[in-house]
Structure 1
Amino acid sequence: MLGVIAAALGGPEVLQVTELPEPEARPGQVVVRIRAVCVHPADVAATTGQIPRGPVRPPFLPGWDIAGEVASVGAGTADFQVGDRVVGMIPWYLTRGAPGGYAEFVAADVDWLVPLPDGLDFAPAATVPLNAQTAHQGLALLSSDLLPGDSLLVTGASGGVGGFVTQLAAQGGYRVLAQATTGDEEWVRGLGPQEVVPRSAALARVGPVAAVFDAVPLGEAAGAAVQDRGVVVATRPTPAIDSRRGVRQDLQLIKHDRKLLAELVEQVAAGKLRTRVAATMPLTEAADAHRRVLAGGVPGKIVLTPA
């Protein structure tokens, strides 16, 4: 089968299309024929060695979120049958690229996967697992400090995580102020916030808000918007806020939750949560996809489609 490996640490040029052995399903696993794999900033960070717990030694396969069809089933595995449509998240923080999703097939533990509803196509489905779970779990970190009607600033609401945070928080009854990329205000407005904040706005003047979900993250600029004794949740480590202000800071790191993922996928399939695909590209053009992510300004997720 074809796969795309990071042959070294560095920029997009380190990604190489190569022939790999086709995987076999062990007990408790299925082999998934991948129809779509999402390109995340986390994949770019992995190839440059800028990830938690230190860089992964090459060669390795990037790729967290996959959607496809079950091609074979391991002995004694009853969760899925050949031909079932599935979507899931390879817990890359554990596998560290062995396996990863940039391939035509992957041997996946059944706990990584959930059924893919017939009404949801492979490409948009592949944008859901990492982003939506991160959003839901990060909001849970905020919930002990917030009441319905409290104000929540979401940075990066044009992005995958920020977009899901905006929707889930609005549905939860918070007063959401969503920061949109320039030119993307209409999309963000459609996610249900009470107010859309321009990317150029000085966030210190937007607040004070009860909490900030710093999905970019912006760090100091986001911290300037939160009220004293408020709370900030970020998706990557950010500088400490002046301890005299009493602001609680939390770091949201993904933990795969199969039941939660199934619920979120069902909501997307039912139109209760929105996601978007900016472009689909052949798996063999993974390096170009990484270049586009690094350039920024992509309105949605880039999804690779193996042949």
Structure 2
Amino acid sequence: MTELPEPEAGPGQVVIRTRAVCVHPADIAATTGEIPRGPVLPPFLPGWDIAGEVASVGPDTAEFRVGDRVVGMIPWYLTRGAPGGYAEFVAADAAWLVPLPDELDFVSAATVPLNAQTAHQGLSLVSLAMLPAGSSILVTGASGGVGGFAAQLAAQGGFRVLAQASHGDEQWVRGLGAHEVVSRSTDLASVGPVAAVFDAVPIGEAASAAVEDRGVVVATRPTPAIVPARGVRQELQLIRLDRELLADLVGQVAAGRLRTRVAATMPLTEAADAHRRVLAGGLHGKLVLTVG
């Protein structure tokens, strides 16, 4: 831990008093040099998703006022940790933020932006395949943040969802709208063929074994190329900030139409231990750092 100067809001910015920041595998990947789009040299601040209150407003910023509750996603793929969310105060572009409804608490809100947007955008790639109504889709990692949102959004979109769940999470995943749930130990080649795979883990070739000829596989991190003999289309979904989409997804969670879950909270001062807990696995939900 170190003390940094308190940031000031520039034009089009606000300073957020952080109340919650979600711990993502991408944060850990950044610290180990394994994040997509190339390694980031320290020093930098991890942290994509923040929720909190507006502490100050910069010039030419009319959308927010001091005291407003907000949630947002720092586009870390652009900022590369300058700024990042692991801080008591963050100077954020207003375009990264959306209002936080009173019905949604800071901790739950912090689990939404990266996970839900990735799921929605990845499913958009599946939809581009022009699959007929009722087509089957396998979602790997449906116990996790991205996979959980993907399973819900796919079911809402009319897909027949086959979801892979971690041990002990089967009931939770069924509650997300999955039509069928399989365990992590299941040979996925035995459960298909499905029209599409949303590989949220991702597990790569083992997941693609479930897809039918000329189907589509969408992965959330780079994976080895699939043998092209069966005409399977392989897509990579890397997050991009979409403010309008984020506002809609936050609203759906606040209204109870989408579900999220928090495994535990830890103080920001224990961020290193939080990373160790995520790496150890076995969490049922997201781990969120809290401030104040």
Could you state the TM-score of these two structures normalised by the residue count of structure 2? 0.99
Tell me if the contact between 2:202 and 2:219 (Cα under 8 Å) persists in the aligned partners: yes
1:117-156 equivalences under 5 Å are: 117-145=101-129, 146-156=131-141
- Match of 1:263, SS? helix
Could you tell me how far 1:238 is from its partner in structure 2?
1.1
1:4-23 equivalences under 5 Å are: 17-23=1-7
Alignment counterpart, residue 248 of structure 1, candidates 233, 242, 245: 233
Could you tell me how far 1:237 is from its partner in structure 2?
1.1
Is residue 65 from structure 1 mapped to residue 49 from structure 2 by the alignment? yes
Could you tell me how far 1:144 is from its partner in structure 2?
2.0
Task: Give the corresponding residue for 2:266.
Answer: 281
* Alpha-carbon distance in structure 1 between the residues aligned to 2:229 and 2:276: 42
Return 5+ residue gaps in structure 1 as ranges. Answer: 1-16
Task: Give the corresponding residue for 1:47.
Answer: 31
Task: Give the corresponding residue for 2:245.
Answer: 260
* Alpha-carbon distance in structure 1 between the residues aligned to 2:125 and 2:258: 20
- Match of 2:2, SS? strand
Alignment counterpart, residue 218 of structure 1, candidates 190, 193, 203: 203
Could you tell me how far 1:53 is from its partner in structure 2?
2.4
Alignment counterpart, residue 153 of structure 2, candidates 155, 158, 168: 168
Identify the range of structure 1 (140-149 vs 99-108) with the bigger mean alpha-carbon deviation: 140-149
Tell me if the contact between 2:19 and 2:291 (Cα under 8 Å) persists in the aligned partners: yes
* Alpha-carbon distance in structure 1 between the residues aligned to 2:281 and 2:120: 24
Is residue 293 from structure 1 mapped to residue 278 from structure 2 by the alignment? yes
Q: How many equivalent residue pairs?
A: 291
Kindly provide the CA deviation profile for residues 201-231 of structure 1, in whole angstroms up to 9, marking residues without a partner as x: 1100000100000000010100100001000
**Structure 1 counterpart of 2:277, one-letter code:** R
Task: Give the corresponding residue for 1:7.
Answer: none
**Structure 2 counterpart of 1:194, one-letter code:** H
Kindly provide the CA deviation profile for residues 127-168 of structure 1, in whole angstroms up to 9, marking residues without a partner as x: 000000000000000002222200000000000000000000
- RMSD between aligned residues: 0.6
Kindly provide the CA deviation profile for residues 87-140 of structure 1, in whole angstroms up to 9, marking residues without a partner as x: 000000000000000000000000000000001000000000000000000000
Kindly provide the CA deviation profile for residues 26-46 of structure 1, in whole angstroms up to 9, marking residues without a partner as x: 010000000000000000000
Return 5+ residue gaps in structure 2 as ranges. Answer: none
* Alpha-carbon distance in structure 1 between the residues aligned to 2:132 and 2:161: 12
- Match of 1:53, SS? coil
Tell me if the contact between 2:74 and 2:96 (Cα under 8 Å) persists in the aligned partners: yes
Kindly provide the CA deviation profile for residues 270-299 of structure 1, in whole angstroms up to 9, marking residues without a partner as x: 000000011110000001100000001110
- Match of 1:19, SS? coil
* Alpha-carbon distance in structure 2 between the residues aligned to 1:236 and 1:33: 31
- Match of 1:147, SS? coil
Is residue 35 from structure 1 mapped to residue 19 from structure 2 by the alignment? yes
Could you state the TM-score of these two structures normalised by the residue count of structure 1? 0.94
Tell me if the contact between 2:164 and 2:184 (Cα under 8 Å) persists in the aligned partners: yes
- Match of 1:210, SS? strand
Tell me if the contact between 2:36 and 2:221 (Cα under 8 Å) persists in the aligned partners: no
Could you tell me how far 1:244 is from its partner in structure 2?
1.1
**Structure 2 counterpart of 1:212, one-letter code:** V
Is residue 83 from structure 1 mapped to residue 64 from structure 2 by the alignment? no
**Structure 1 counterpart of 2:32, one-letter code:** T
